[in-house]
């Protein structure tokens, strides 16, 4: 049975901690029964270029696997960082 998974993004989406997040994203897109992901992003306080690049790669991987992604309350900090880098639309945050 297809499933929707809520995924809580960490408080700090920075180069210092994205390695573990990358592994979690890979495992998520490889799940056979996952057809939708809800990114819960209200706790994100910091996001740098590396963190946003990882989000962009995750979005591309989910599109390739036909997994829908929606946002649940993205923080102002995350939205601002995405807009600053011109990635808001690319990651679907707006």
* pLDDT band at residue 83 using 50, 70 and 90 as cut-offs: very high
pLDDT over 90 (residue 15): yes
Give one DSSP letter per residue of the chain, joined into a string.
--EEEEEEPPSEESTTTHHHHHHHHHHHHH-TTEEEEEEE-TT--EE-HHHHHHHHHHHHHHHHTT-EEEEES--HHHHHHHHHTT-TTTTT--
pTM value is: 0.92
Kindly state the tokens that stand for 84.
């600053």
Q: What is the pLDDT of residues 45-56, one digit of tens each?
A: 999 999 999 999
**Residue 82 class from Cβ within 10 Å (0-12 exposed, 13-18 middle, 19+ buried)?**
buried
Q: What number is the average pLDDT over the span 68-76?
A: 96
Is the pLDDT confidence value at 26 over 80? Answer: yes
Residue 90 lies in a domain: no
Region 5-10: mean pLDDT is: 96
Domain that holds residue 47: 3-84
Question: Does residue 41 lie in a domain region?
Answer: yes
Q: Is residue 91 part of a domain?
A: no
Strand 3-8: give its sheet, edge to edge.
3-8, 34-40, 68-72
Instruction: Supply the pLDDT for residue 2.
Output: 60
* 51 belongs to a structural domain: yes
Position 89 in a domain? no
């Amino acid at each position: 049975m297809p499933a929707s998974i809520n995924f809580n993004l960490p408080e700090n989406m920075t180069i210092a901690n994205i390695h573990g997040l990358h592994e979690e994203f890979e495992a998520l897109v490889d799940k056979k029964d996952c057809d939708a992901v809800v990114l819960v992003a209200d706790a994100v306080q910091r996001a740098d270029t590396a963190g946003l690049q990882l989000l962009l790669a995750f979005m591309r991987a989910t599109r390739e696997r036909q997994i829908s992604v929606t946002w649940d309350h993205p923080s102002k900090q995350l939205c601002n960082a995405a807009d600053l880098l011109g990635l808001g639309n690319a990651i679907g945050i707006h």
